[in-house]
Structures are given as C-alpha cells and as structure tokens.
Amino acid sequence: MQFSTSIPQDWESPKFWLGQRTEQGLIVGVEYCPPGTLLAEEYGDGWRYIVLPNKNSEELHSYFDDELKPLSTSKLQKVLQEELEQYQQRITTIQQQLAAIGGSNDG
C-alpha cells in the first residue's frame, strides 16, 4: 500500500519526513502548527516532529525544524547496515528453527 498526502499550498513544506532517521532519533509523527492558532501560540508555528529516540524507548520527543539534525550519509549507512545485520541474524535463526522441525507445512 502506497501512502501519500498533500500539503495545502499556503503551508510551508516540511524539512523532514515521516520515517526519517535523525541525530535525535526516528521521526514517527509530523504535525503542522499553523500561525495564528492555539497550537502555534502554545508550541510555536511550523512543523513539529515527533521522534522516537531509539527503538527500545517508550518516550517520544517533539522537535521543530531548527532543532533536528539529519544524519550524515556515512552515519546513516552505518545505522542501516547495523539494522540489516540484525534482521539477517533473525532470519538465520528462524531458518534454523524451521529446519529443526523439518520444514513441514502441515501446520
């Protein structure tokens, strides 16, 4: 399923996107606080990003554009490689478990 959204023309475009990894963590939510609204008076206007600091955290943090720092290309490559290796280890373990039960499909 492909997800897409459109942003009203009178809103500025966000600098970051949902799912992007930043120095602060993974962006798991995006919210726009339009100028002149209660939200903007409370938090400031513009895009606000909800960030999960790490996958084992229960905490979420909010940041505005100027508070987030994208990962450098080399750091992003390192993070993605580590994640890929973790998934490959999980796949190997599951394949071993499947082989141990004979790979039967009789449920």
Distance of CA 92 to the CA centre of its chain: 26
**Which of 14-18, 21-25, 41-45, 90-94 is least confident?**
41-45
Tens digits of per-residue pLDDT, 15-39?
999 999 999 999 999 999 998 999 8
CA angle 11, 17, 23 (to 5 degrees): 125
In this prediction the pTM is: 0.77
pLDDT of residue 103: 64
Q: How confident is the model at residue 102 (pLDDT cuts 50, 70, 90)?
A: confident
Reported as type and span, the H/E element at residue 78 is: helix 73-100
Task: List b or e across 24-40, with b for residues whose CB sees 16 or more CB atoms inside 10 angstroms.
Answer: bbbbeebebbeeeeeee
Tens digits of per-residue pLDDT, 55-90?
888 899 999 989 999 999 999 999 999 999 999 999
